[in-house]
Amino acid sequence: PRAGRVPAGHCRVPCVADTNDGAEIFDEGREDISRHALREDGGAPQADVDRCDVPRHVAVIMDGNRRYGRRVHGSAARGHWEGGNALINFVRWCMAERVEILTVYAFSTENWRRSEGEVRVLMSIFIRYFDELRKEALLRGIRVNVLSSTESKLPQDVRDGIHRLTTSTAHCKFFVLNICMSYGGRDEIVGACRSVARAAVCGNLQPEDLTEDDIRSRLLTGLYGIPDPDVLLRTGGDVRISNFLLWQTAYAEMFFLECEWPEITREDLVDVIQRFARKRDRRFGQ
């Protein structure tokens, strides 16, 4: 088993069995703690690098929630909930370090293959989490986008929560948080290709005129005008990108951490930013 760190300062919630509906992980104080955490200012930047050397867009594969929950609490569901706490902290740290855009992999198309009980717990967490995130995003000026390549698979109450979250924060301009949910990179590219094919059938695009921009603009990130990530960070110890932003990460600097997602610290983020800044001479094949 991987050695892990037990994070300090994370709120504790009651244990929940992996097969129930997840209700027991919602204690009354959880929302107040999350709300307070996101309202706190992350303080001055700690990376000590020039603004121009800070990655504008960081993408994260938040891996290790289940393993952490089972190892530390004996409950995978509790690991998922504490992973939500870690995301709140990570958003604050990114804002303090002058990162402008954060894209996180919350639920992949492959995650639908997990047990019915675990998926049900995750959907319950998402519903509650989205409502809390909406309140705090409005206070901090955070625009939240939810990118889904298979949105139709999501339960209606989850889609309703996504709609409330994204429409309520659409005007915010201080920071952008993209949550990839029921998302797969291959599905996203296939969807873009279908859009190109429809344009060609309608006579609006000739095959010989097809460019990368025609594909890029039809990706989910392109629909929101989101630039490609400068950095891809993955926790959990695995060294792969797992069908995440396959097109967009072509030139991203990749960092793989041994810690599981709920254990992520600000020092981890600062180290990634500093390492990125040291290799800032990115030639993109030239």
Please identify every residue annotated as catalytic.
Answer: 63, 111
Chain position carrying tokens 């109450």: 157
25, 78 Cβ separation under 8 angstroms: yes
**Which pairing describes strands 101-108 and 142-147: parallel, antiparallel, or unpaired?**
unpaired
CA 128 centroid distance within chain: 17
Q: Which two tokens stand for residue 281?
A: 């001479």
Q: What does the chain come to in residues?
A: 286
Q: If we measure between CA atoms, which residue out of 214, 211, 216, 212 comes closest to residue 226?
A: 216
Q: What are the phi and psi torsion angles at 181 (to 5°)? A: -135, 130
Q: In the chain, how many H helices and how many E strands?
A: 9, 6
CA–CA distance, 246 with 238 (Å, rounded to integer): 17
Q: Where are the alpha helices (DSSP H) in the chain?
A: 28-39, 65-68, 76-96, 116-140, 156-169, 185-201, 212-216, 220-223, 266-278
